[in-house]
Amino acid sequence: MRESRSRAWTPSIVALTSLLALVMGSLTVTATPAAAAPRFGGTVFERPGETYAQAYQRVTRTYGNLDAIRLFFPGAPSSWRKIRAKVHQTPVVVSFRMDPRAVASGRYDRSMRRWFATAPTNRPTYWSYWHEPENDSVNKTAYRRAWRHLDKLADQAKNRQLKSTLILMCWTLDRASGRNWRSYYAGPRAIRVLAFDCYNTGRKSNVYKRPKAILKNVVRLARRVGKPWGIAEFGSTSIPAAGGNAGRARWLRNYASYVQLKGGVFATYFDSHVGYDYRLHDRPSRTAWRKIIQR
């Protein structure tokens, strides 16, 4: 009887062992790799009397080597020879603007083909046509057509590091804005990355707004359309009633943590005085941002 029981149980043990091995193997195969860390960086604005090269050296002395630099061109972009001379090997989030009808007509085809063809192939370039078009009297249909035209030119370069990036305002995603972000969206084939300019507007009520409250609409939209997302500009003035510089340093850390938690690909701080003073003059804020960049 004992021998027969042993024989009866043996197949069951073998089957159970095989089942467990199959389950564990499935778990191993389906494991999802961790998302890449976001690139954190910012702007390089010249102080009075400074050249861009001097400002760049000052910024890198303060924060170390940035993971990304935000560049703005009021017209067509500079050549890559000039851009490399400015930012060396740093990835860029770069925007430029030309008349959309002129772009679609092919007027800039030669220069833009060359620009895309000479872009770096060893690091990402998040390029954007006419950032924040919502506040300008741009014709939306012409704008989308220009975007599609430029993206076709970029595709000809066969450079996977070229990331077409639509940059809009966070305010546009708020129902109170009365805007529709799709008015500026050239479609999933033309736009690879969605990016937004998302500042702390809590200065009006003397608070540092929680990053989730600022960025939740961005995260929700990116998930809905299945696109990577980034923050092309963000910043906050120092608010004495909300903890001043120490409060801003804490807000910077929380903002960066939320971007990383939700899978953002980059966030560049607007370290300048345009409209409001977002510059990080103080030690707590500078130390916090340096540690984030050099994490």
Q: What is the pLDDT of residues 76-122, one digit of tens each?
A: 999 999 999 999 999 999 999 999 999 999 999 999 999 999 999 99
C-beta separation of 173 from 122 below 8 A: no
pTM of the predicted model as reported, rounded to 2 decimal places: 0.88
Which tokens sit at 288?
């916090």
80-87 and 52-63 helices cross at what angle (nearest 10)?
Answer: 40
Region label for 132, one of left (φ > 0), alpha (ψ between -120 and 50) or beta (otherwise)? left
Q: Band the pLDDT of 44: cuts 50, 70, 90.
A: very high
Q: How would you classify the pairing of strands 273-274 and 276-277? A: antiparallel
Cα–Cα distance for residue pair 124/113, rounded to 1 Å: 17
Q: Which pLDDT tens digit goes with each residue over 277-292?
A: 999 999 999 999 999 9
